[in-house]
Structure 1
Amino acid sequence: MPSVVMSIMQGPLCGALATMLLYGVICMQTFRYWQAYEHDMKILKYLVVSICILETVHTALTVYAVEFYLIMHFGDVTNLAYAVWGMPASYVIGFIIAYAVNLCFIWRILQLSQKRWIAICFVILATIRCGFGLANCSLSFYYPMWKVFRQHVFPTMVVGWVLSAVVDSAIAFTLCLYLRKRRTGMNQTDSILNRLLLYSINTGAVTSFCAILVVVMFLSLPNNLAFIGFVQVQSKFYAISFLASLNTRKRPGTTKQTAPSAVEGVALSFMPDISTFETSHQQSLHLPPIEVRKSVVMNIYGDDLDTGMDSTVHGSEC
């Protein structure tokens, strides 16, 4: 009996614990987004809210599935042979979240490359991958017994998760390739691009690694549900990567306006002292203050980089 419980519930239990941990990270990222980017487009706000709600439901269903086996039906070995409805329902939500995040990254690739055929190919692959996942989830409703389910979904399970690893790796690689081309040599802009590159690499590596582990566990452990743990946490990695990429942007209103001391060896310290200005009302002319403002704007949606140097000269006569 202990060996049966361990082989069936060890993977889902570990996956549920990791899911709750990552759900806390998602809540933190969502709160940070709403604090810093309240003026974003409505469609982006709706997407963030939708992902947060779906992740909440996904976490609740994952906890319910573990509670069903280990608390509500504790000691009932017969129930371990069947999948409770909460498991496939949570997987459906996970595939929907993964598909939405993939489409967001594909849209960014389109804006960076301006090549529609690349985006269309990725959309087709992501749609096929999502179709395989939803098909496997629907079959688990018709074949709730684990052994019967495994016999019917064996080919689609392997193909779907291999395709998942390929799609995630290809999207991350393409995104990194075009982000590198957008480097300008400016420290502030390149630091933002480097963070986006890091998130893109981590996203593709982590989600692809999870997909590979699902296939390996599914093939090597036919009487074990260890692969379910990696299925449960994968959607959380998609949501975290999406929210982190949004929070990487420069916050509105944080552009610093400073007057540099010199540009190309020419001093620009022409700003008169305020105290001198107040005590010299009898003078007929004052040196005009020069204010040099340098702004760097990065549009995360299209990843367009706009750099500009504005010089404003203010003069006054007494």
Structure 2
Amino acid sequence: MSAPPIDVNAVIPPTMGALMLSMVFSSVMYGVTVLQTYQYYDGYWEDPAYMKVFVAALWVLDTAQLVTVIHSNWWYLIANYANVAALNIVPVSLAIEVGFTISIGVLVQSFFAYRVWYTSGRQFIIPLTIVCLTLATFSLGIFYAVTGQRNPVVEEIAKITWATVASLSCSMAADFLITGSLVYYLHRHRSGLRRTDKLINVLIVYTVNTGLLTSIAAMCTIILSKTLVGTQWQVIPYFLVSKFYVNSTLATLNAREKLRNMPAGMSTNGAQLELSTRPDGGSTTMVHKRNRNNHQESEIKFATVTESMADTKVLDTTIDMTSEA
């Protein structure tokens, strides 16, 4: 008795359709990576050599990750066109993609662990915990990729899905720890100076958004892999995890000059106008407007040198981590 015919329309969209969409979204995010990498080297060529090597490594790994995604699409849709049996095989390029993704995660989370260490005043407990979680993520990811390629059949790889779930869970835990500790330490750096406090508020938003994007992508991957068994929809958020890591790091590095030159702002109630601190380290100018007998009077005051120095020190601590404080 011959086997029942396969409903191609029911098989292709949740497998190859998902893989193709993941390539499209990954390509869009890679374009953002290229732009941010160019902006970094164009605006921060004075950074230390190790920081430039770090950014170059992220770009190379992100490029290689996209190449593996493109190759997997080629393998399924071109090399094995009309070969439905190929859907039961996982090509080696997808295993290599896992390696590139977790390698990017190691670099980025180590970078943010260093940032936690720097911002906390060189305390080791939390950064070491983050590094341990990152290494656990990497080890579990390598185990999943290597074991899966020993017998690259979908049914066999499904038996070790626990490894990728555990790896993503460790990654999420590290992201939550990075976000929570950075928000806490940034909040502690509030000095009461308007410019500094405004800057710290922006940095907190950056930090929360960074951890939020990667955590949501990892959580969606876990949920889809457990609820839509036998499909490939989970690869869409998973392929974006590395893109979010790279772009959040580059955005943090590229925002330094903009944040450093951020004006303190000015009030709109007519009582006070505050100008930003001069880039050369000069004093902050304050213009106070007061009404006396229905006549407006202006009074110009200058912030003390101590206040300006304190403001600069806090900015160096919270923004620029490319050199020792």
What TM-score, normalized by structure 1, do the two folds share? 0.80
- 1:183 CA displacement: 2.0
Name the CA distance, whole Å, in 1 between partners of 2:75 and 2:162: 29
Take 2:137 and 2:150, find their aligned partners in 1: how far apart are those partners? 21
Which amino acid is 2:205 matched to? Answer: L
Give the structure with higher Rg (CA).
1
Equivalent-residue separation in structure 2 for 1:92 and 1:86 (angstroms)? 10
Correspondence for 1:209: 216
Task: State the 1:203 CA deviation.
Answer: 1.5
Alpha-carbon distance in 1 for matches of 2:259, 2:229: 52
RMSD: 2.9
Partner in structure 2 of residue 314 of structure 1: none
Q: Between the two proteins, what is the percent identity of the paired residues?
A: 22
Which amino acid in 2 is paired with 1:6?
P
Tell me, yes or no, if structure 1 residue 256 matches structure 2 residue 279: yes
Which residue of 274, 285, 298 corresponds with 2:316? 298
Q: Give CA deviations for 1:46-84 in whole Å, capped at 9, x if unaligned.
A: 000111111111111111111221123221111111111
Q: How does 1:131-210 map to 2 (within 5 A)?
A: 131-151=139-159, 153-210=160-217
- 1:217, 1:226 within 8 Å by CA — same for their partners in 2? yes
Superposition pairs for residues 84-163 of structure 1, below 5 Å? 84-113=91-120, 114-151=122-159, 153-163=160-170
In the other structure, the counterpart of 2:74 is: 67
Q: Equivalent residue of 2:257, what SS?
A: coil
SS at match of 2:90: coil
| Structure 1 residues 35 and 253, CA gap change in structure 2 (3 angstroms) | farther
1:194-245, CA deviations, whole angstroms, 9 ceiling, x for partnerless residues? 3321221112111111111111111111111111111111000000010011
Could you say which residue in structure 1 is the equivalent of 2:89?
82
Secondary structure of 1:250's partner?
Answer: helix
Q: Gapped runs of 5+ residues in structure 1?
A: 270-292, 307-318
Inter-partner Cα distance in structure 1 for 2:247 and 2:85: 37
Q: Could you say which residue in structure 2 is the equivalent of 1:34? A: 41
Amino acid at match of 1:158: V
Residue 316 of structure 2 aligns to a residue whose secondary structure is strand
Does the C-alpha gap of structure 1 residues 185 and 82 become closer, same or farther in structure 2, counting only changes over 3 Å? same
Structure of greater relative contact order (alpha carbons < 8 Å, 6+ residues apart): 1
Unaligned runs of 5+ in 2: 1-7, 262-277, 289-297
TM-score (norm 2): 0.79
Q: Which amino acid aligns with 1:236?
A: K
Whether the 8 Å CA contact 2:284–2:308 is kept in 1: the answer is: no
